[in-house]
């Protein structure tokens, strides 16, 4: 490569890398009075261990908090002080019994020993199972469903407010009651059940993408019986509209999918519908919103997770990160400082080759930051940090391996270019082998594992691909470009030829 | 013969590993892992403040310090404090993770009224409610089960790949090392009672990945070395030992890069949150186990497999009257070398 071309390429690479590094890691600052620069690192979605999480406590109907009990108590005391209202307000201590941090209505308690009734316990257990199934189906990086004070349920989720309104999410997940199709709208208390949404009629639901205008929708799969029953129902409903005039022409009707008293979905049916799957456009802007409804529907089909208990989870709180307030920032700073130390070490140890490694490593870092910040659905938790560290170590290890092979080849008496060629040739098979195996392991985790490991595997796959590309492609290319510059290429690469004793 | 690759060394490695794994399994079976704050059931004294959203950092810190002192004065040990902020109203809570007896209503009332004597501007018992909650964590059965299946399939694929691309014996050694490294990491974490949560599985996965990477690095070099004329002439154990010695630098480079970041984060965790420290200590254990495995355990296992394989091949050839070379050694001398190795 010519010197001018080499200079041009080095300048270009340096400018591009510097620019990308600037937008990736520079701390936020105000550009002017109204506009603020935000780095790519700061828009990375974090798991609840490294970032803010959201929590809600679900209280079953009849179970109240201490604050609510204190309010009832205060109202009762105030009522007692006035003669006219003395008998209007009942004593909360007669209505509720304290259990750990909550107060339970005596309707749910056995008279003899103040333990909860079996029916309440069974309903509560089913509600816990349902919430576990519903939140579990969302495949979140880290969430928790905990039983608090024995009779309330605390759920903590990572920040997915960019994908879904958190308050609506917690409310939807609490829907209870039986699933059914009805042609009665929500303003009427008594609903006409067109089709029961149980395992006899519905085999499952899933999310479908219905195009740019419609967004995400929901596919409901019927069993054979369900398909027949739905076809009969839609035939009857769409033709019965005109029965008074004796006409058999079909008209449009609106069908609602209810969960207890809450409307999950609604659709317009224009005629008999006899198909194994129906597609309902719920007007969901994001996959996550549709996924929530799918989780609710699927849990209602399963007998183990169907429940009627009304849950109130309307109060949503933000919670500080479980790994500590600034864990993400500290992890990023530690990684940056150690990367800098490693680059300095590489420059001292390998000189020119270390410079090529530096370009490759910075390229790797920038590519990782671009991907984890811009690809939707990637969430970084502490396991993801482990994956990033691992893939960075992989890159450093295999670059060091390639450089040691180049040194070994050079020591045998080959020219520099022949040594580089032979060194990389020697490293090639093993580098590819290791990266392939690691990528396959990461892909296995992606397809089999859930939650934290699922998100870790995504980062791992990206890291391994970038590590392979940087080790085999970028470092070698940079070395090729850099070697066009120095006069003494051997000294530039910090190579020494072993002195061979001459035979006497 | 290299002492590190000797049969005696393999025996010692196996005994130590097996003892640790069995002891870890017993501890885990009877006591479970030592759950960290993200996994353990816990008791919380919740101090709700209706004006939490408008408090400045100094006030929040003052209230936190005051109630930490009050709770400790009443016999509680405070392990962690978290802040929860209601999304819509700005009401928030200080959650003090405590161990100790469940407080009575009178104690909670005392705690509530005590804030009046703290002289913290704008904070008094009219804005504060104190309640106590006990939380029980639900087990992550499916998560653990699916992670285990993924790890098992990964180890089998590692075996198949190494057996096909390298040598069959290397595949067996990589397979054994993969299982060994993951189990040993988990066993050590269980034995030393490092508090751990669901992220421990991340550390176990790192152990598996490191095991795969380091052992393949070892075998990649060994595959090339064993083809050289010099090593073909050597007994199996010596050849393996010599090649393993040559891989040491590469293995350590890789391990040091990863371990340095984990160590720094472990130290940082002391200041930001101990859960981070505990996880990073788990990750450091996985690095240490993988390095031990790649430097000592796997070469010893493979040396045993190779010398047995060489001896069997030599015997077969000797029986069939073939007088050529077997595994680089004279057909008749190989069984004797294998016998010498055994001694």
Q: Which of A319, A334, A367 is the last residue of a domain?
A: A319
Domain count, chain A: 2
Shortest distance, CA A337 to any CA of chain B (angstroms): 9
Tell me: the pLDDT tens digits for B87-124? Answer: 677 778 888 888 777 778 888 888 888 888 888 888 88
Q: What percent of chain B has pLDDT over 90?
A: 18
- Is the pLDDT score of A239 beyond 80? no
Sign of CA dihedral B189, B192, B197, B203: negative
Question: Class of the B42-135 domain?
Answer: alpha beta
A322 contacts in chain B (CB < 8 Å): 37-38, 273, 275
Which residue in B86, B171, B273, B281 has the most chain A C-beta atoms within 10 A of its own C-beta, making it the best mutation to test that interface? Answer: B273
Q: What is the pLDDT of residue B158?
A: 92
Shortest distance, CA B186 to any CA of chain A (angstroms): 16
* Half-sphere exposure (Cβ direction) of B238: Cα atoms closer than 13 Å: 13
- Is the pLDDT score of A504 beyond 50? no
Q: Which residues contact A77 (CB under 8 A, 6 or more apart)?
A: none
Q: What is the pLDDT of residue B327?
A: 46
A389 part of contact set with chain B, CB < 8 Å: yes
The label of the residue with tokens 């690691």 reads A438
Across chain A, mean pLDDT equals 86
- Tell me: do A381 and A429 sit in the same domain: yes
Secondary structure (3-state) at A57 = strand
Contact B154 A449 (CB under 8 A): no
Strand partners, A196: A180
How far separated are the first and last CA of chain A, in Å rounded?
Answer: 42
Q: What is the pLDDT of residue A462?
A: 95
- Is the pLDDT score of A370 beyond 90? yes
Q: Which residue of A has its CA nearest to B201?
A: A453
Which residue in B48, B105, B135, B175 has the most chain A C-beta atoms within 10 A of its own C-beta, making it the best mutation to test that interface? Answer: B135
Contact B202 A382 (CB under 8 A): yes
DSSP H or E segment with residue A3: helix A3-25
Q: Which domain holds residue A340?
A: 3-46+324-492
Report, as an integer, the average pLDDT of B70-88. 81
DSSP for A273-332, please give it: ---SEEEEEEEESSHHHHHHHHHHHHHHHSGGG-----EE---EEEE--TT-TTHHHHHH
Asked whether A216 and A290 are in contact (CB, 8 A), the reply is yes
A160 contacts in chain B (CB < 8 Å): none
- Is the pLDDT score of B75 beyond 90? no
Across chain B, mean pLDDT equals 82
Which residue in A96, A151, A323, A346 has the most chain B C-beta atoms within 10 A of its own C-beta, making it the best mutation to test that interface? Answer: A323
Report, as an integer, the average pLDDT of B44-69. 86
- Is the pLDDT score of A245 beyond 60? no
Phi-psi sector, A100: left (phi>0), alpha (psi -120 to 50), beta: left
Q: Which of A319, A337, A359 is the last residue of a domain?
A: A319
Contact A325 B273 (CB under 8 A): yes
C-alpha A295/C-alpha A309 separation (Å) is: 18
Q: Which of A263, A290, A319 is the last residue of a domain?
A: A319
Lowest mean pLDDT among A462-471, B192-201, B285-294: B192-201
A199 is a domain residue: yes
| pTM more than 0.80 | no
ipTM of the complex: 0.79
B318 part of contact set with chain A, CB < 8 Å: no
Report, as an integer, the average pLDDT of A228-255. 75
- Tokens read off for A473: 């492609």
- Tell me: do A198 and A249 sit in the same domain: yes
- Tell me: do A289 and A357 sit in the same domain: no
B143 part of contact set with chain A, CB < 8 Å: yes
Contact A434 B153 (CB under 8 A): no
Domain residues of chain B, as ranges?
3-36+139-342, 42-135
A167 is a domain residue: yes
- Tell me: do A297 and A328 sit in the same domain: no
- Tell me: do A284 and A358 sit in the same domain: no
B135 part of contact set with chain A, CB < 8 Å: yes
**Cβ within 8 Å of A, B 28-57:** 37-38, 41, 46, 48
pLDDT band at B13 (very low <50, low <70, confident <90, very high): confident
Question: Which CATH number belongs to the domain containing residue A355 in this structure?
Answer: 1.20.1640.10
Q: What is the pLDDT of residue B331?
A: 43
- Say if domain B3-36+139-342 classifies as CATH 1.20.1640.10: yes
pLDDT band at A459 (very low <50, low <70, confident <90, very high): very high
Q: Which residues contact B1 (CB under 8 A, 6 or more apart)?
A: B235, B237, B238, B241, B341
Contact B199 A330 (CB under 8 A): no
Calculate the alpha carbon distances from B77 to A39, A149, B112, B221, B225 in Å: 41, 20, 18, 54, 59
Chain A to chain B Cβ contacts (< 8 Å)? 238
Query: Looking at per-residue confidence, does A286 or B326 come out higher?
Result: A286
Contact B272 A326 (CB under 8 A): yes
Asked whether A47 and A158 are in contact (CB, 8 A), the reply is yes
A308 is a domain residue: yes
- Tokens read off for A368: 């990782």
C-alpha B98/C-alpha B73 separation (Å) is: 12
pLDDT band at A240 (very low <50, low <70, confident <90, very high): low
Which residue in B64, B97, B202 has the most chain A C-beta atoms within 10 A of its own C-beta, making it the best mutation to test that interface? Answer: B202
A55 contacts in chain B (CB < 8 Å): 84
């Amino acid at each position: 490569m010519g010197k001018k071309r080499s200079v041009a390429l080095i300048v270009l690479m340096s400018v591009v890398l510097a620019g990308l590094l600037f937008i990736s890691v520079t701390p936020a600052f105000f550009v002017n009075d109204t506009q603020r620069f935000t780095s790519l690192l700061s828009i990375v979605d974090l798991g609840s261990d490294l970032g803010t999480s959201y929590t809600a406590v679900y209280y079953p109907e009849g179970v109240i908090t201490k604050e609510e009990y204190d309010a009832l108590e205060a109202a009762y005391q105030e009522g007692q002080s006035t003669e006219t209202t003395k008998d209007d307000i009942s004593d909360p201590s007669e209505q509720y019994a304290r259990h750990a941090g909550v107060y339970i209505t005596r309707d749910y308690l056995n008279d003899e020993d103040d333990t909860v009734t079996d029916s309440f316990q069974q309903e509560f257990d089913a509600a816990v199972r349902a919430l576990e199934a519903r939140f579990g189906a969302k495949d979140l990086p880290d969430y928790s469903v905990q039983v608090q004070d024995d009779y309330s349920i605390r759920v903590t989720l990572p920040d997915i407010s960019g994908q879904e309104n958190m308050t609506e999410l917690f409310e939807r997940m609490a829907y209870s009651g039986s699933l059914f199709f009805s042609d009665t709208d929500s303003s009427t208390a008594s609903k006409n059940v067109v089709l029961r949404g149980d395992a006899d009629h519905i085999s499952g639901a899933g999310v479908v993408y219905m195009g740019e205008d419609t967004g995400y929708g929901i596919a409901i799969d019927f069993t054979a019986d369900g398909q027949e029953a739905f076809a009969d129902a839609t035939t009857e409903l769409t033709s019965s509209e005109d029965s008074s005039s004796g006409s058999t022409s079909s008209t449009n009707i609106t069908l609602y999918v209810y969960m207890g008293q809450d409307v999950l979905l609604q659709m317009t049916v224009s005629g008999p519908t006899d198909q194994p799957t129906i597609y309902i456009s719920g007007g969901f802007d994001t996959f996550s919103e549709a996924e929530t409804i799918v989780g609710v529907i699927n849990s209602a089909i399963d007998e183990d997770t169907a429940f009627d208990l009304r849950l109130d989870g309307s109060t949503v709180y933000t919670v500080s990160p479980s790994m500590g307030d600034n864990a993400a920032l500290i992890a990023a700073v530690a990684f940056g400082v150690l990367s800098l130390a490693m680059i300095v070490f590489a420059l001292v140890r390998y000189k020119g080759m270390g410079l090529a490694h530096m370009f490759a490593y910075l390229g790797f870092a920038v590519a990782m930051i671009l991907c984890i910040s811009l690809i939707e659905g990637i969430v970084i938790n502490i396991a993801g940090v482990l994956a990033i560290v691992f893939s960075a170590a992989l890159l450093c290890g295999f670059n060091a391996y390639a450089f040691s092979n180049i040194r070994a080849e050079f020591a045998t008496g080959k020219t520099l270019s022949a040594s580089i060629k032979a060194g990389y040739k020697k490293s090639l098979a093993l580098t590819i082998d290791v990266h392939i195996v690691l990528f396959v392991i990461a892909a296995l985790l992606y397809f089999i594992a859930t939650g934290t490991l699922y998100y870790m595997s995504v980062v791992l796959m990206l890291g391994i691909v970038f590590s392979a590309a940087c080790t085999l492609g970028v470092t070698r290319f940079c070395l090729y470009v850099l070697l066009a510059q120095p006069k003494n290429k051997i000294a530039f690469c910090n190579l020494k030829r072993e002195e061979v004793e001459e035979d006497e | 013969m290299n002492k590190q690759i000797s049969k005696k060394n393999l025996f010692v490695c196996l005994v130590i590993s097996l003892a640790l794994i069995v002891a870890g399994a017993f501890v885990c079976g009877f006591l479970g892992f030592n759950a960290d704050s993200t996994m353990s059931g816990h008791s919380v004294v919740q101090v709700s403040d209706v004006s939490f959203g408008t408090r400045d950092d100094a006030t929040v810190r003052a209230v936190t310090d005051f109630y930490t002192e009050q709770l400790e004065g009443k016999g509680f040990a405070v392990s962690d404090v978290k802040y929860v902020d209601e999304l819509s109203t700005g009401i928030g809570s200080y959650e003090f993770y405590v161990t100790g007896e469940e407080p009575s209503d009178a104690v909670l009332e005392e705690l509530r009224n005590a804030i009046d004597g703290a002289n913290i501007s704008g904070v008094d018992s009219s804005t504060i409610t104190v309640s106590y909650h006990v939380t029980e964590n639900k087990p992550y059965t499916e998560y653990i089960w699916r992670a285990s299946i993924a790890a098992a399939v990964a180890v089998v694929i590692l075996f198949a790949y190494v057996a096909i691309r390298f040598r069959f014996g290397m595949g067996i050694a990589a397979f054994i090392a993969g299982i060994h490294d993951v189990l040993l990491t988990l066993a050590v974490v269980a034995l030393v009672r490092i508090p751990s949560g669901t992220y421990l599985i991340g550390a176990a996965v790192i152990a598996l990945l490191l095991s795969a990477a380091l052992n393949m690095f070892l075998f990649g070099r060994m595959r090339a070395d064993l083809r050289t004329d010099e090593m073909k002439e050597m007994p199996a154990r010596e050849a393996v030992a010599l090649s393993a010695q040559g891989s040491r630098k590469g293995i350590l480079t890789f391990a040091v890069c990863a371990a340095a970041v984990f160590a720094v984060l472990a130290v940082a965790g002391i200041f930001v949150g101990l859960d981070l420290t505990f996880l990073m200590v788990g990750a450091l254990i996985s690095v240490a186990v993988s390095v031990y495995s790649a430097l000592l355990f796997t070469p010893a296992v493979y040396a045993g497999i190779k010398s047995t394989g060489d001896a069997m091949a030599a015997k077969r050839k000797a029986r069939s009257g073939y007088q050529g070379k077997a595994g680089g050694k004279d057909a008749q001398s190989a069984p004797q070398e294998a016998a010498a190795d055994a001694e």
